[in-house]
Amino acid sequence: MYNSAYAYLLLAIISEVIATSALKASDGFTRIVPVIVVVTGYVAAFYLLSLVLRSIPVGITYAIWSGVGIIFITLVAYFAFRQSLDIPALAGMGLILAGVLVINFFSKTVTA
């Protein structure tokens, strides 16, 4: 059950990252194709997130969702939109990743 929940969570994160990337490309909701991607991506992300919450506690789900999402969207911003990353940004993302790993490997809440 947990394996499918984590697969849904990964798909939800990917959907949200695609939607957020399209939001930037929508140019203030003035370009229709990116707007369609935004709406579809967010609907898919929240539907998948609702499936995840059947198995994984909301606090843990949100910690993973936000932490991994931040890292993924920052990578997309770097490669697709040429956003630069400095040492503090990279260090912060490392700390976020470390926090997600600590939650998953050491917290008893994950299996509650």
Q: What is the pLDDT of residues 18-68, one digit of tens each?
A: 999 999 899 999 999 999 999 999 999 999 999 999 999 888 898 889 889
pLDDT band at residue 111 using 50, 70 and 90 as cut-offs: low
Q: 29's torsion region: left (phi>0), alpha (psi -120 to 50) or beta? A: left
pLDDT, mean over the chain = 91
* Helix residue ranges per DSSP H, the chain: 2-25, 32-52, 58-80, 87-106
HSE at residue 112, side-chain half, CA atoms within 13 A, is 12
